[in-house]
Structure 1
Amino acid sequence: MAANYWESTQRKHWLFTKDELAAMRAKLEAEDPNLVASFPLPQLRHLNIYFNQQSPTYFGSTLEINRLGKRMGLRQQALATAQVYIKRFYTKVEIRRTNPHHVLVTALYLACKMEECPQHIRLMANEARGFWPTDFQSQTEVARIGECEFYLISEMSSHLIVHSPYRTLTSLQGELGLAQEDVNLAWSVINDHYMTDLPLLHPPHVIALTAILLALVLRQDPSGRLPGTAASASGLVAASAALAQAQAQAQARAAMMAGGGQTVPGLAPQSSSGLQAMLPPQSPAGEGPAEGNKNPRMAKVHRFAAWLSDSNIDIEAMVDCTQELISFYECHEQYNDKNTREQINRFVKARGLDK
């Protein structure tokens, strides 16, 4: 059962709607409004950026859990699982009641066990002390990580197996004709999605397909790096519009089939694919025949469009994933690491959670 996402605890117990997530978080804050008022925190996306990894090809830095993971040479799968554990845990426990750095290290320690790359608890504590000396300053930290591990397991109801989008991405590489650079770019988008609520909102295969779409519509510079944030947002908007058109066409085709192949009033047939908005611009005049040989990227987009139209993938969910990523990239423009760190340290020290 563990290898089957459709029968997994992730699908049955850890997928929510946005309204459900908001209600759960509001309930946690309502339990102690004085605590919430005394220690205001940055918006949730900024906390996610602080805790989770940041792709170095996008913004030139790595943060917290990724810093620790890279220093220890851990696999990306373990880092991703740890980030999901943190998100799940904080849907059950108000963040101001914990030391987030203890939770972060413990989640990574537990994820390494589950992803079959276990690390000794003393090694984990020693490495963490190098990053957060005030939070890991005594020999009792090993016992504290052990206690926090049971706390995490209990709050997550022992649901520890996490299905990630990476597997879907690699399995579709050959079928969709993706080059390694396309896979690398999609991999970066998947890394970024862990700084949003998407792991709690949509299945991993939907996220992987959204990442592939974005890898095909976003442009890279000659060095192979992702474009700047503004350019990326433009590409994401185009992808979202393309998916919306594709969804409308799918509904029109379904209605026509239900009507015996006849055009249904109010649903005019469209002569071109809704995914045409994803296609790269035509080659300038003089660079090829009038029709132009399709460049490799255009061919990949057509192949993906055909594959998507023949599948049962929830396009509306892909639209939502795309829009969530748009919001995230825009939000990152206002992120201030120093302010976020200071606000977290303030409630940790004031409540004695660093001792």
Structure 2
Amino acid sequence: MAQNFWKSSHAQQWMFDKTEIWKQRGEDMKVYSEEEYNRLNIFWPNFITAVATECAHSQANVGVKLRQQVIATAIVYFKRFYLRQSFRDMCPFLVASTALFLACKVEEHTSLSVSSFLKNTSLVLPKRWGVPFETNSTKNGVVYDSEFILVEILDCCLVVHHPFRPMIEFLDDFRQFSLCASGTNTPVKDTDAIEAQCQKVANDSLRCDVGLIFPPHIVALSSIIVAMELMGRGEELEGWLVEVDVDLEKVTDCVDQIYKMYNLWKSFDEKEEVKKLMAKLPKPNSPIVHQQQQPSTSNNYF
């Protein structure tokens, strides 16, 4: 896994330091403060997850459920796209739907109705966030057109290395270490609950920039540390962490960023604040958008 990662486009083209990330977001930072953008970093993954859930429940996709890895890949595509483009360049709602559509292909997931991605985009905003949204575009071609642009902006770098696999390997190693250290062959308690909490934290980490800064094994180990601390069992990791061959300085930085995201999320009243953030969202000037827009007094983004 590690060898494959370090030779991948993910490692060679899509890892940055914090300063570089905010510099690349310069155009959007003329509109939003850093704290507002961090709130958007929480909102967009929530929005993509909501669209994925609606797609799975829609009549056109009865019985189909998107795997979490598909959703995670779509979120990474979205975040990468807006490192190289601004919200003004292309409608983020369209990019979000297209990222999900593309992620289904790349992760070899069951095919979903193309039109459902667009339709459910206009459903989840008023349903969950109370933001009015209308689209005049119901044609499947708009997704195919934007898919071409998305792939181009991503430099065809579509394979994403997530922290889920190294996290499982770390947890297995921790369980083996605990067995040997106890000398009684007593397994770690509640291993299923620990793994579920670690998976949740890893998923939540998509709501900050750690996936753009650190390699997957650092995010994985950080997710385990945060998860165990949230469960009140952080001290159980102390002996094992000393034995793990990783850069603990990077792990500490990653853990701090995850906690900062959680603290911001706690104070983020999405129902109210998303309306204000969306009111500041620049109107896109993408050629695709112009082809689809019709004169209207409502907020037509497609």
TM category, shorter: 0.7 to 0.9
The one-letter amino acid paired with 1:125 is L
In 1: Cα distance, 2:20 partner to 2:202 partner: 23
Change (3 A) 1:138 1:189: same
The one-letter amino acid paired with 1:17 is D
TM-superposed deviation, 1:167: 1.1
Query: Secondary structure of 2:161's partner?
Result: coil
The one-letter amino acid paired with 1:70 is T
Question: C-alpha deviations, 1:141-177, integer Å up to 9, x for none?
Answer: x211111111111111000000101111223333222
Aligned to 1:147: 145
Provide the aligned length of Structure 1 versus Structure 2.
Answer: 258
Aligned to 1:265: none
Aligned to 1:340: 274
Give the structure with the larger helix fraction. 2
Aligned to 2:123: 130
Question: C-alpha deviations, 1:217-264, integer Å up to 9, x for none?
Answer: 2227xxxxxxxxxxxxxx9xxxxxxxxxxxxxxxxxxxxxxxxxxxxx
- Which gives a bigger RCO, structure 1 or 2 (Cα 8 Å, sep 6+)? 2
Aligned to 2:184: none
Aligned to 2:72: 80
CA contact (8 A) 1:168 1:208 kept: yes
TM-score (norm 1): 0.66
Q: 1:45 aligns with which of 38, 42, 52?
A: 38
CA contact (8 A) 1:206 1:318 kept: yes
Query: Secondary structure of 2:83's partner?
Result: coil
Change (3 A) 1:113 1:329: same
CA contact (8 A) 2:202 2:220 kept: yes
In 2: Cα distance, 1:315 partner to 1:49 partner: 26
- 1:149-298 alignment, distance < 5 Å: 149-177=147-175, 179-219=191-231, 278-279=234-235, 298=236
Aligned to 1:68: 51
- What is the percent sequence identity of the aligned residues? 27
The one-letter amino acid paired with 1:189 is V
Change (3 A) 1:333 1:131: closer
The one-letter amino acid paired with 1:327 is K
CA contact (8 A) 1:128 1:136 kept: no
In 1: Cα distance, 2:204 partner to 2:247 partner: 21
TM-superposed deviation, 1:214: 1.8
The one-letter amino acid paired with 1:203 is P
Change (3 A) 1:348 1:20: closer
Change (3 A) 1:149 1:180: same
TM-superposed deviation, 1:3: 8.4
In 2: Cα distance, 1:20 partner to 1:14 partner: 11
Aligned to 1:316: 249
The one-letter amino acid paired with 2:53 is K
The one-letter amino acid paired with 1:138 is S
TM-superposed deviation, 1:19: 1.3
The answer to whether 1:116 aligns with 2:108 is: yes
The answer to whether 1:354 aligns with 2:301 is: yes
The one-letter amino acid paired with 1:198 is V
TM-superposed deviation, 1:333: 3.3
TM-superposed deviation, 1:131: 2.9
In 2: Cα distance, 1:41 partner to 1:80 partner: 23
Structure 1 stretches lacking a partner, 5+ long: 31-35, 54-63, 221-234, 236-277, 280-297
In 1: Cα distance, 2:37 partner to 2:269 partner: 13
In 2: Cα distance, 1:123 partner to 1:335 partner: 29
The answer to whether 1:325 aligns with 2:272 is: no
CA contact (8 A) 1:2 1:8 kept: no
The answer to whether 1:97 aligns with 2:79 is: no
Query: Secondary structure of 1:52's partner?
Result: helix
Change (3 A) 1:192 1:130: same
In 1: Cα distance, 2:88 partner to 2:42 partner: 17
In 2: Cα distance, 1:51 partner to 1:326 partner: 19
The answer to whether 1:9 aligns with 2:2 is: no
Query: Secondary structure of 2:25's partner?
Result: helix
C-alpha RMSD of matched pairs (Å): 2.8
The one-letter amino acid paired with 1:105 is S
